[in-house]
């Protein structure tokens, strides 16, 4: 059997149909979309058609979609943009399980004098809305909670949080609004992302998580939201994200979104079926913990802890068998610290250090499960015999 790739929460294979859509914009229609001549206008038309496709998916207006280099850039635009606008004596809330691109940006804002609070999660990695409500102050300008967690797959009560913030805004002075940002990177493939239902002001996502290309993303910014750009140089993307547009990437992103619209429900069922089979087989191994409520989490992420078997060792030994997994998020790889997500969920270090993340895509099949489980069982047995 060919290699098994179970690290789709880090990045996904680009769909062949996405590649086919992109190629002409490398070879034929390669002009700068901001050029006045007809070749440039062909590229610009492709960008605007892509914007319309993405806007339709998120159920928003075309001008509310900004193309970025990915969710990390989008998260920075949202957080830094709000801080730059309101500047002094302001407060931000984010969850304890956010992606590093949110947590590190918030830490940087703290150095500028912004007060930061972190809302806790329960044992399944779900934000405690009651705790969040108590953290909101009169000077809170932004709440940032991811739609679904990248390490354990826990889905957050985004609609409930959106309603909470909407109610809070109705009570406060319009001069200092409270905005809601959600990092929807892991959610776009599998969850409803209608921004009018979510009641969010900012939503960010990346192409490479949805079988699209790397280096491209999009963000929704609700019309009327007040923020200051964090980059300068040109008028592109309504002045929010200056620079020459990545036309092939934008076209590819739109095609990936289009495929989710037409095939998403079928892919959800297929991926969940593979995950459920993995759960059934992994559960036969002694001394394990599944780090999420499978009935409410994403269908493609399975985070498992093995007692007396270190996660990095599991990863390396499986890699030697041609099987790719991860320990937590790709952005944290190389760190020997326990996962901040598992720690926030109350997992003890001896369990956190033995955790691995298996993440699936539409390209995985049930046939791979038996091969994976056989290799995993051997690895766990070896490591436990070696354990002190």
Q: What does the alpha-carbon distance between residue 236 and residue 288 come to, in Å, rounded to a whole number?
A: 51
Which CATH number is 16-258 given? Answer: 3.40.640.10
Q: Buried (b) or exposed (e) across 127-149, using 16+ Cβ within 10 A? A: bebeebeeebeeebbbbbbbbbb
Degrees to nearest 5, angle at CA 24 with 52 and 250: 35
Q: What does the alpha-carbon distance between residue 247 and residue 372 come to, in Å, rounded to a whole number?
A: 39
Q: For the chain, which residues make up each domain, given as ranges?
A: 4-12+264-386, 16-258
Q: What does the alpha-carbon distance between residue 344 and residue 234 come to, in Å, rounded to a whole number?
A: 41
pLDDT of residue 336: 63
Q: What does the alpha-carbon distance between residue 54 and residue 204 come to, in Å, rounded to a whole number?
A: 12
Bridge partners of 115, per DSSP, are: 91
Q: Which backbone phi and psi does 292 adopt, to 5 degrees? A: -175, 165
The single residue listed with the structure tokens 């994200």 is 241
* Collapsed DSSP state (helix, strand, coil) of residue 100: helix
Degrees to nearest 5, angle at CA 256 with 250 and 258: 105
pLDDT of residue 172: 87
Whether the Cβ atoms of residue 63 and residue 210 lie closer than 8 Å to each other? no
Catalytic residue among 60, 106, 193, 331: 331
At 220, which helix (H) or strand (E)?
strand 217-221
Q: Does the active-site annotation cover 331?
A: yes
* HSE toward the beta carbon, residue 41, CA cutoff 13 A: 3
**CATH architecture of the domain covering 4-12+264-386:** Alpha-Beta Complex (3.90)
pTM above 0.75, yes or no: yes
Q: What does the alpha-carbon distance between residue 100 and residue 104 come to, in Å, rounded to a whole number?
A: 5
* HSE toward the beta carbon, residue 125, CA cutoff 13 A: 28
Quick one: CA dihedral 146, 150, 153, 154, positive or negative? Answer: negative
pLDDT of residue 85: 95
Low-confidence ranges of the chain (pLDDT < 50): none
Q: Look at residues 72, 58, 63 and name the one whose alpha carbon lies nearest to residue 329.
A: 72
């Amino acid at each position: 059997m060919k290699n098994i790739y179970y690290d789709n929460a880090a990045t996904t294979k680009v769909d062949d149909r996405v590649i086919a859509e992109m190629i002409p914009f490398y070879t034929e229609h390669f002009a700068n979309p901001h050029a006045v001549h007809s070749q440039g206008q062909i590229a610009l038309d492709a960008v605007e058609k892509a914007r319309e496709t993405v806007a339709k998916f998120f159920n928003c207006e075309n001008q509310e979609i900004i193309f970025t280099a990915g969710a990390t850039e989008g998260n920075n635009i949202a957080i830094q943009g709000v801080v730059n606008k309101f500047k002094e004596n302001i407060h931000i809330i984010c969850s304890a399980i956010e992606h590093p691109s949110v947590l590190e940006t918030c830490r940087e804002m703290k150095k500028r004098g912004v007060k930061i609070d972190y809302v806790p999660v329960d044992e399944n990695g779900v934000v405690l809305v009651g705790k969040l409500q108590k953290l909101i102050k009169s000077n809170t300008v932004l709440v940032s909670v991811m739609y679904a967690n990248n390490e354990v797959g826990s889905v957050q009560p985004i609609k409930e949080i959106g309603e909470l913030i909407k109610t809070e805004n109705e009570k406060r002075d319009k001069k200092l609004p409270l905005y809601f940002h959600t990092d929807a990177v892991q959610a776009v493939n599998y969850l409803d992302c209608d921004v009018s239902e979510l009641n969010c002001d900012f939503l960010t996502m990346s192409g490479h998580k949805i079988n699209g290309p790397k280096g491209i993303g999009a963000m929704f910014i609700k019309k009327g939201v007040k923020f200051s750009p964090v980059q300068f140089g040109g008028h592109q993307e309504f002045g929010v994200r200056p620079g020459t547009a990545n036309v092939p990437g934008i076209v590819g992103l739109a095609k990936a979104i289009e495929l989710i619209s037409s095939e998403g429900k079928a892919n959800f069922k297929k991926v969940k079926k593979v995950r459920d089979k993995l759960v059934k087989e992994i559960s036969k191994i002694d001394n394990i913990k599944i780090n999420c409520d499978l009935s409410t989490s994403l269908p493609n992420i399975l985070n498992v802890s093995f007692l007396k078997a270190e996660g990095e060792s599991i990863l390396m030994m499986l890699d030697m068998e041609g099987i790719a997994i991860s320990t937590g998020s790709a952005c944290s790889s190389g760190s020997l610290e326990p996962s901040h997500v598992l720690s926030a969920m109350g997992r003890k270090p001896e369990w956190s250090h033995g955790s691995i993340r298996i993440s699936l895509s539409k390209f995985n099949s049930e046939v791979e499960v038996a091969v994976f489980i056989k290799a995993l069982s051997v690895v766990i047995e070896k490591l436990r015999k070696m354990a002190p």
